[in-house]
Structure 1
Amino acid sequence: MLRLRPFRKNDAKTIITWTNKEEEFYKWSAGILGEYPVTEKRLLEATSGREDNDRYFPFTAFDENGLVGFFTARVRPEEDDKKLRFGYVIVNPSKRGTGYGKQMITLGLKFAFEIYGADSVSLGVFENNKQAYYCYKSVGFEENGVREEYNLCGETWIDIDLEIKKETYYAKEKQHD
């Protein structure tokens, strides 16, 4: 059974081992964490000082065998506090394709809507990350028409913005009851 808990500093040691290729790193970090390879120090810097912040929530997903995934939920500075943004979404490569990503995002949405009280959650996914795109679509995210270009790995990557509204989340939840 997959569960979420707040990110702990020790988690960074494990999370940084999940990316062995430059392209994989940029798919989940969009270059915001700097150059490949990511270091424990840079991951900790990205999450440090946020423990008491009521607009930033780093999470670690885990099962009985250990860490499975990581993501953040945050309110963008320019947004109101009813809109959360998921970022840095990564799943342990040995667990990919097993449904853990979907479970982790579903637990994140449960936090966003049922505990935090958000009205919507958004995230970005690169066009070249089809597996993640279909994972997000399967839990109810829809394209909102926003696209952004990034220059990564010597190429232009298109980031597709996805969003799910509270009403969509609850309608999907009712289908599963």
Structure 2
Amino acid sequence: MLTLRPFAPSDYPLLASWFTSLPDVVQWGGSHVPYPITHAALDVMLQEGQSQPPSRRCWMVYRGDTPVGHAQLAYDWRDGNARLGRVVIAPGERGQGLGRPMVTLLIDEAFRTPGIERLELNVYTFNERAIHLYKTLGFTFEGVRRSSTQAGDARWDTGMMGLLRTEWQAAAAPHAG
């Protein structure tokens, strides 16, 4: 069973250790996150959670007492949207089937939040395993921003996916009760 724990400065060294190259960091956090990841960059992410309402919330994902992942939700309160992002499973924990329960926790968290009607995410189009996982959880592939991100000398296409609260509720209804 996985649980979410608020991300804290004490988690910075562990999270940063999961990334060994600029492309790793860009795939996780986008082209604006520096490599190596700095405490200042992580401080900014946490500070975004201090506003009321928060513009971003960050978690470490635990299996028992072991940190196995990290994920974030960013919020557009005016339009009722949340963006799932910066999802990563610890290198030593990959391939153990943690992606589905981890993302499910974040979807539940997003839709437990009053006023959030849409959850969206960006995923690089070469990340076929992630795209498959998101589709099996009900996300719809909505389009591609071609050559939208630079990672060193490479340019990557970004896929956009979305899930509506009503779609998530309908998928969960057969399992309720």
Give the TM-score, by structure 2 length.
0.87
Aligned to 1:75: 75
Q: Aligned match of 1:145 in 139, 143, 146?
A: 143
Tell me how far 1:5 sits from its aligned partner.
2.1
Residue type of the partner of 1:144? E
Q: Confirm or deny that 1:135 pairs with 2:137.
A: no
1:64-83 deviation per Cα after TM superposition (whole angstroms, max 9, x unaligned):
1421111211124xx62511
Q: 1:145 to 1:49 in 2, by over 3 A?
A: closer
Q: Aligned match of 2:117 in 116, 119, 127?
A: 119
Q: Confirm or deny that 1:61 pairs with 2:61.
A: yes
Residue type of the partner of 2:98? Y
Q: How many residues align?
A: 174
Q: Which runs of 5+ in 1 are unaligned?
A: none
- Give the alignment's Cα RMSD to 1 decimal: 1.9
Aligned to 2:22: 22
Tell me how far 1:113 sits from its aligned partner.
0.9
- CA distance in 2 between counterparts of 1:4 and 1:19 reads 21
- CA distance in 1 between counterparts of 2:149 and 2:14 reads 27
Runs ≥4 residues deviating over 4 A: none
- CA distance in 2 between counterparts of 1:142 and 1:159 reads 14
Aligned to 2:33: 33
Give the TM-score, by structure 1 length.
0.87
Q: 1:176 to 1:21 in 2, by over 3 A?
A: farther
Identity %: 25
Aligned to 2:159: 160
Q: Which runs of 5+ in 2 are unaligned?
A: none
Aligned to 2:42: 43
- CA distance in 1 between counterparts of 2:175 and 2:144 reads 30
